[in-house]
């Protein structure tokens, strides 16, 4: 069964739960709930990276201001904590506070200091595919593969061990809904990289393109996408809805064990 990463957004403007957990007490309670529900990792982010725009960039100090009241308490809960940030200064601070994993939505290609930091700290890093704008005309799987090759080259030059890298195709990021569906359908094409794959399809817009719905009403589509991703080789699933996702993956694993 894949590892389950629970999403904890301490932001006012994330696409599906902005403002829900930006009070420290609520954030800590949500982290506890996710751990009790079976989350193996808590992924905490303090800047919205919603794939569809409409958010304002925040400064390092703003991002740290959202993390300071809660990060150490989440770390103290005892499960590995991932810091979801594209800023190496924020990541460095979070690692100092006990975070153990880096989740970079720009795959080491946006902040010039990120790869060196990850190498120096010798921590796992999630390298996510991203684009500034979606382009319906491109071959999305080729674009992802080329992006990953660039990221892996950056990582190698910085001294990041290959064993520390996880690849994330970035469902919804710089992709049309149709392209996100294609990525999930063809996820096993990433197997030649021989690296763990993380998939985060939770509540994403492509679900509404198939079944019109608001983000909070996309649980069924999220679970379907994550089960299929696991069947196609995803080893980590990133989700807002931990209890339901864990149940779905456990049942899928039990059934597959009988085939």
Helix (H, G, I), strand (E, B) or coil at 243: helix
3-256: which CATH number, 3.90.650.10, 3.40.50.20, 3.90.1170.20, 3.20.20.20?
3.20.20.20
The terminus-to-terminus CA distance of the chain in angstroms comes to: 15
Could you give the CA distance from residue 51 to residue 163 in angstroms, rounded to a whole number? 28
Helix (H, G, I), strand (E, B) or coil at 43: strand
Q: Helices 140-158 and 177-185: crossing angle, nearest 10°?
A: 70
Cβ-proximal residues to 22 (8 Å cutoff; 6+ apart), any chain: 9, 10, 11, 12, 66
Compute the C-alpha angle 237/134/87, nearest 5°.
60
Containing H/E element for 244? helix 242-256
Sheet containing strand 165-168, strands side by side: 165-168, 125-128, 101-104, 81-84, 41-45, 3-9, 236-239, 198-199
pLDDT of residue 94: 98
* Cβ-contact 168, 198 below 8 angstroms: yes
* Domain layout of the chain by residue ranges: 3-256
Could you give the CA distance from residue 214 to residue 64 in angstroms, rounded to a whole number? 30
pLDDT of residue 15: 46
> How many residues are present in the chain?
259
pLDDT of residue 128: 98
pLDDT tens string, the chain, 259 residues long: the values are: 999 999 999 987 544 544 455 678 899 999 999 999 999 999 999 998 765 555 578 899 999 999 999 999 999 999 999 999 999 999 999 999 999 999 999 999 999 999 999 999 999 999 999 999 999 999 999 999 999 999 999 999 999 999 999 999 999 999 999 999 999 999 999 999 999 999 999 999 999 999 999 999 999 999 999 999 999 999 999 999 999 999 999 999 999 999 8
* Cβ-contact 201, 171 below 8 angstroms: yes
pLDDT of residue 21: 56
Tally of CA atoms within 13 A in the half-sphere of 116 that contains its CB: 5
* Cβ-contact 9, 63 below 8 angstroms: no
User: Tokens for 37?
Assistant: 């529900």
Active site residues: 204, 238
pLDDT of residue 17: 46
Could you give the CA distance from residue 171 to residue 131 in angstroms, rounded to a whole number? 11
């Amino acid at each position: 069964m894949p590892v389950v990463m629970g999403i904890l957004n301490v932001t006012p403007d994330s696409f599906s739960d902005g403002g829900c957990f930006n009070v420290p007490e609520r954030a800590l309670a949500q982290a506890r709930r996710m751990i009790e529900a079976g989350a193996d990792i808590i992924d905490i982010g303090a800047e919205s990276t919603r794939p569809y725009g409409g958010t304002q960039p925040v400064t390092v100090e703003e991002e740290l201001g959202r993390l300071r009241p809660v990060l150490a308490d989440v770390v103290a809960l005892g499960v590995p904590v991932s810091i979801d940030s594209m800023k190496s200064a924020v990541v460095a601070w979070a690692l100092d506070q006990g975070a153990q994993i880096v989740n970079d939505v720009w795959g080491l290609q946006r902040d010039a200091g990120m790869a060196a930091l990850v190498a120096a700290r010798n921590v796992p890093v999630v390298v996510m595919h991203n684009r500034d704008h979606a382009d319906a005309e491109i071959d999305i799987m080729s674009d992802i593969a080329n992006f990953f090759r660039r990221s892996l080259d950056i990582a190698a030059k910085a001294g990041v061990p290959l064993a520390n890298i996880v690849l994330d195709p970035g469902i919804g990021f710089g992709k049309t809904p149709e392209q996100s569906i294609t990525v999930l359908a063809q996820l096993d094409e990433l197997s030649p990289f021989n690296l763990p794959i993380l998939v985060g399809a939770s509540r994403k817009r492509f679900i509404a393109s198939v079944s019109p719905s608001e983000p909070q009403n996309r649980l069924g589509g999220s679970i379907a996408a994550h089960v299929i991703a696991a069947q196609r080789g995803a080893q980590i699933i990133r989700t807002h809805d931990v209890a339901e996702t864990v149940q779905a993956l456990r049942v899928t694993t039990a059934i597959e064990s009988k085939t």
